A and B are shown apart, each in its own frame.
Chain A
């Protein structure tokens, strides 16, 4: 077999089918770039000469083919000094090296075209793979199997996942019927209302295409009696919408959290629950990057929080795939956070952000856009356009409350951020979980001696805006010290 003798230290080419795949990719990119020209071609006037278009098409096609061929022949992969090296590019040459011990998994994908030619696409899972292009688009199957075996053999250590079942589990949070009802009634009904609205709108759009005439006559009739309708009718409508929204909230809560529990194991949490789709998740403690828990106004009064674990790649995962745990009793909270880090803020006076935040944020994110929109809207609405300017005081109070309530707390091993205008949101971040630190300063902030610090983790970013520049630098230096002297693995 050819694969047995493959010398991975020698640069390898992709499988021949790679050429077709590159061509498809180049064509797709070209379509994106030349879309205006393609549209022009489609809507061109009949009088214009066809020859011009033919020449343009031939030149572009030739360029694409030459580029694809060059890209194919310039692509090489090999193993050098325990690193997977990929060399590629025509106009922009790229040399990517991926240490083998960083590879957590090797994926092989076969689309129809791969299957026809006995090839596969090989991609390499690393915690940072999302934004990179560490993959081989076309590799013959036997080569792929050999390379995968080679990499897995040479990897420093296999990733240890928690066992499927453990008998020493201890349930730390369980939700009963009363918990579910409290959760349902305190849910964000406005959100539920918009979901209902979206659903009704899409249904209406579908029905309208079938029954457009009938619907028009119903709408006309309704428009006739609506102005005559009494105040009671309007109130009834509002109550009806509110009731439906509450019903939707109850249904959503039961579908997501029916029979919900979270249990602790030696190395991680097991999270289980759901009515129609039962979801079970294993979350190793070491993978938790930071934790948030938040409550809207009603839930804040009732002492109910929704806690969320941000693990590696959380910011790239769909909303319904996130790991959220309802905290219906305050004594649940420590058992959910302490394994990562105990809460810092309780009973402490936190540090505040600078008041310049309010004016600056109102100016940039509300006042200037509102003035611009008012200017444009004046053309159609005239004096009515001035109503848009009401957004400015609203924005001002929003940012004022935000800045007044913002607190951050620092401790030896972690920091906590507490925000919230009506409700409350807490973020708990351990210093050693940070991947990168950025300190940002606009020209205005620089003049005032202020800065914004961004603490990037593998699960998302925690931000503290408008603090003293010296504080931002001190936090950065301390966080770097903690990261660089930490002996525990960040995942």
Chain B
């Protein structure tokens, strides 16, 4: 790189790509599968309800095509979710949080603690039963948040507590 910076040697800077990534909990794969199954049932249910009320959809071949279509779409959606689950990982460093995601488009996001506004921990019905939660780290402005799913609930809460403590410390540092 051609930075005109005499005091700092760029090669000495901590390198984010060398960070040790923490994968998501393996039970999150079950959550992905369960969600696909629940969604499949919901779509099939909705299709059957619509079919029940619309006489034009009541032929047998419509039923076969409809259910097959829903199944194929759900299979591919599950496959992509599963492949991206394998890639999803996070890392906490002294001063920032990193999250890696995406299978077709691979994304690595980094958010310094000094830019975190607040965080939240949430869990849906399926995740809750599997003891999982999603940690969301909010920065200023919209659409620039980091959302890490598939964490054990205790892990998510302890990262949240760690981040909150870090945010407080950064603010105090700046005030001083």
Contact = CB atoms under 8 A, between A and B. Distances in A.
Nearest to A96: B120
B159 interface: no
Interface string B157-176: 00010001001100100110
A37 B141 contact: no
B139 interface: yes
Contact of A37 (B50, B108, B117, B171): B50
A284 interface: no
A44 B49 CA distance: 13
B144 interface: yes
Interface in A142-192: 156-157
Contacts of A411: 3-4
A332 B3 CA distance: 28
B1 A95 contact: no
Interface residues of B, number: 58
Contacts of B102: 440
Contact of B124 (A92, A96, A435, A461): A92
B84 to A, nearest CB: 13
A473 interface: yes
Contacts of B49: 37, 56
Contacts, number: 186
Contacts of B160: 95, 97
B3 A131 contact: no
A443 B106 CA distance: 8
Contacts of B115: 434-436, 483, 490
Interface in A18-69: 36-37, 40, 44-45, 48, 52, 56
A231 B2 CA distance: 59
B117 A128 contact: yes
Interface in A442-491: 442-443, 446, 456-461, 471, 473-478, 480-481, 483-484, 486-487, 489-491
B89 interface: no
Interface in B84-120: 95-96, 102, 104-112, 114-115, 117-120
A460 B110 CA distance: 16
B114 to A, nearest CB: 7
10 contacts: A52-B53, A92-B125, A95-B122, A131-B138, A134-B118, A156-B175, A443-B104, A458-B141, A481-B13, A490-B115
Interface of B: 1-5, 8, 10, 13-17, 49-50, 52-55, 95-96, 102, 104-112, 114-115, 117-125, 128, 138-146, 160, 164, 167-168, 171, 174-175
Interface of A: 36-37, 40, 44-45, 48, 52, 56, 82-83, 89, 91-99, 101-102, 126-128, 130-132, 134, 156-157, 312-313, 315-316, 351, 410-412, 434-443, 446, 456-461, 471, 473-478, 480-481, 483-484, 486-487, 489-491
